[in-house]
């Protein structure tokens, strides 16, 4: 992800007055994103952003109005590729009585949800048969004497069923001390190989997880140690021989270690990397931007009857437009369109339980600018706020 401070400009738009019964809307405009990918991720990863504004003085208690947005990547991400930020829908709350509402911009939360990498072939670099595969073929590292075999679907004649080797190749060994280790990021992994009477036992483990090592026997028809042996001259391809799918999201190493006896074989077809689907993004990537209370302006919004609405005050409503940058290699599409309904995530005590946005309302808005500094380390690194004061006649101090 890199290290160092990088700025993110934020504009918060708050109305000065709202007609009774209409919606108080708080809009957030995020500047150019300083986020970059901390690793390689397949397309379909999601970046979710929520920005909250605290509301007080109008109810008993304190309310929170939340603006949200989500982006979904439509290309694969590579390490250090830029990640754009989504457009946020305005937070909206329908007013229920006259009075004054104190509105103070608060946290911005950024969460990244990777998609499962999927099946990782037993080799990425080799394109032809060879008996000397490299010891390191990222993300898999081999030790001992492994052979690489392509064209396996036609070469082998004792297949049972329709399943064959992934991408028609495997690594295989008779080395009693051979290992194969994959570095992966996610919530689980499957080791995929073959079941055959000539296969021998293997130890399989997650290196970072204590007591995770188990011994498997691919010469049996199932993973049950008491299962019968595979009948002679029958080969079952692309079989899940072992899996570990309950890990907290993170980076791990899965390792298989030979426990072969004489004349026994081990086969590595692929690993299937899993990222468990969840409505809540993994905390591994969670980022919270918390502003120091002394550095954030509180705006006052007056809720008035329509008949007593004052003549709108002319204000200069400047906007902050980031300097255009060259188009990046990463393209994202927003799942939060302008037609998406705003959401009241937390309803203030005594406030209406609604997320509907009323049309119209008095003019005159307060524009508050902030500069946020992103402390880079991973997508889950912390955010801190740094205030940038911008002269504006319509800004409330």
Q: Give the model confidence (pLDDT) of 383-393 as tens digits.
A: 333 322 232 33
More reliable by pLDDT, 179 or 12: 179
Quote the mean pLDDT of the chain.
74
What is the pLDDT at residue 124? 63
pLDDT tens for 334-379 read 222 222 333 333 333 333 333 333 333 333 555 544 444 333 323 3
> Are 379 and 1 spatial neighbours (Cβ–Cβ below 8 Å)?
yes
pLDDT score for 350: 36
- In this predicted structure, which of 7-11, 91-95, 188-192, 201-205 has the lowest mean pLDDT? 7-11
Confidence of residue 293 (pLDDT cuts 50, 70, 90): low
pLDDT value at 67 more than 60:
yes
pLDDT at 102 over 70: yes
For residue 361, the cross-strand partners are none
Give me the domain span that covers residue 353. 4-115+281-386
Q: Is the same domain home to 295 and 373?
A: yes
Confidence of residue 176 (pLDDT cuts 50, 70, 90): very high
Residue 234 has pLDDT above 50, yes or no: yes
Residue 290 CB: number of other CB atoms within 10 A?
A: 13
At 321, is the pLDDT very low, low, confident or very high (cuts 50, 70, 90)? Answer: very low
The CA radius of gyration of the chain, in Å to the nearest whole number, is 29
Q: Which of 109-123, 245-259, 343-357 has the lowest mean pLDDT?
A: 343-357
- Model confidence at 309, pLDDT cuts 50, 70, 90, reads very low
Q: What is the pLDDT, as a whole number, of residue 342? A: 32
> Are residues 137 and 95 part of one domain?
no
pLDDT at 95: 85
| The dihedral formed by the CA atoms of 210, 216, 221 and 223, expressed in degrees to the nearest 10 | -10
Of 216, 243, 274, which residue is a domain's last? 274
pLDDT, residue 393, reads 30
Of 224, 155, 154, which is closest to residue 195 (Cα–Cα)? 224
Other Cβ atoms less than 10 A from the Cβ of 232: the count is 9
| Least confident segment among 58-62, 101-105, 157-161, 267-271 | 58-62
In-domain check, residue 77: yes
Average pLDDT over residues 89-105: 87
In a shared domain, residues 99 and 47: yes
Q: Report the distance separating Cα 83 and Cα 39, nearest Å.
A: 12
Give the per-residue pLDDT at 35: 82
Predicted structure pTM score: 0.62
Read off the pLDDT of each residue in 103-126 and give the average, rounded to a whole number.
80
Among the candidates 207, 240, 274, a domain finishes at: 274
Q: What is the CATH number of the domain that holds 234?
A: 2.60.120.260
Give me the mean pLDDT over the 233-250 stretch: 93
Q: Is the predicted pLDDT of residue 143 greater than 80, yes or no?
A: yes
265 shares its domain with 313: no
Burial of 223 (0-12, 13-18, 19+ CB in 10 A): middle
Longest dimension (CA), the chain: 94
- Number of domains present in the structure of the chain: 2
Shared domain check, 349 and 243? no
Q: Residue 286: its pLDDT value, please?
A: 72
> Taking the CB of residue 136, how many other CB atoms lie within 10 A of it?
12
Higher-confidence residue of 227 and 370: namely: 227
Beta bridge partners of 136: 141
Instruction: Please indicate, yes or no, whether residues 144 and 263 belong to a single structural domain of this protein.
Output: yes
* Residue 391 included in any domain: no
| Alpha carbons 106 and 296: distance in angstroms, whole number | 8
pLDDT at 270: 92
* Residue whose C-alpha is closest to residue 395's, from 323, 313, 322, 321: 313
User: What is the pLDDT at residue 362?
Assistant: 37
Q: How far apart are CA 309 and CA 146, in angstroms?
A: 81
In terms of average pLDDT, the best of 65-79, 134-148, 247-261, 357-371 is 247-261
d(CA 381, CA 387): 19
Examine the pLDDT at 230 and tell me if it is beyond 90: yes
Judgement on whether residues 136 and 267 belong to the same structural domain of the protein = yes
Residues 173, 196 within the same domain: yes
């Amino acid at each position: 992800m890199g290290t160092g401070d990088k700025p993110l400009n934020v504009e918060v738009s708050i109305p000065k007055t709202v007609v009774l019964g209409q919606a108080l809307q708080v809009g957030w405009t995020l500047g150019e994103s300083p986020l970059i990918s901390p690793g390689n991720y397949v397309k379909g990863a999601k970046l979710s952003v929520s920005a909250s504004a605290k509301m007080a003085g109008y109810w008993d208690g304190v309310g929170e109005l939340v603006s949200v947005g989500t982006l979904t990547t439509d290309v694969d991400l590579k390490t250090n590729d830029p990640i754009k930020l989504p457009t946020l829908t305005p937070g909206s709350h329908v007013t229920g009585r006259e009075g004054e509402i104190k509105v103070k911009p608060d946290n911005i939360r950024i969460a990244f949800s990777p998609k499962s990498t999927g099946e990782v072939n037993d080799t990425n670099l080799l394109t032809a048969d060879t008996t000397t595969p490299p010891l390191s073929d990222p993300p898999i590292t081999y030790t001992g004497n492994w052979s690489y075999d392509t064209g396996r679907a036609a070469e082998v004649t004792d297949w049972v069923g329709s399943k064959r080797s992934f991408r028609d190749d495997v690594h295989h060994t008779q080395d009693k001390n051979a290992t194969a280790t994959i570095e992966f990021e996610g919530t689980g992994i499957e080791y995929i190989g073959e079941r055959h009477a000539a296969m021998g036992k293997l130890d399989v483990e997650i290196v970072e997880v204590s007591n995770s090592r188990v011994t498997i026997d691919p010469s049996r028809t199932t993973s049950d140690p008491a299962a019968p042996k595979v009948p002679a001259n029958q080969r079952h391809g692309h079989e899940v021989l072992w899996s570990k799918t309950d890990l907290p999201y993170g980076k791990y190493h899965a390792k298989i270690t030979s426990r072969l006896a004489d004349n026994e074989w081990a086969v590595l077809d692929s690993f299937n990397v899993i990222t468990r689907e969840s409505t809540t993004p993994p905390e591994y990537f969670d980022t919270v931007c918390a502003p120091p209370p002394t550095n954030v302006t509180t705006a006052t919004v007056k809720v008035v009857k329509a008949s007593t609405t004052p003549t709108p005050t002319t204000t200069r409503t400047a906007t902050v437009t980031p300097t255009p940058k060259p188009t990046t290699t990463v393209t994202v599409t927003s799942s939060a369109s302008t037609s998406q309904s705003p959401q009241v995530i937390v309803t203030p005590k005594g406030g209406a339980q609604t997320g509907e946005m009323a049309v119209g309302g008095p003019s005159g808005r307060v524009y508050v600018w902030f500069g946020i500094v992103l402390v880079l380390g991973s997508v889950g690194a912390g955010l801190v706020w740094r205030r940038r004061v911008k002269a504006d006649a319509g800004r409330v101090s």
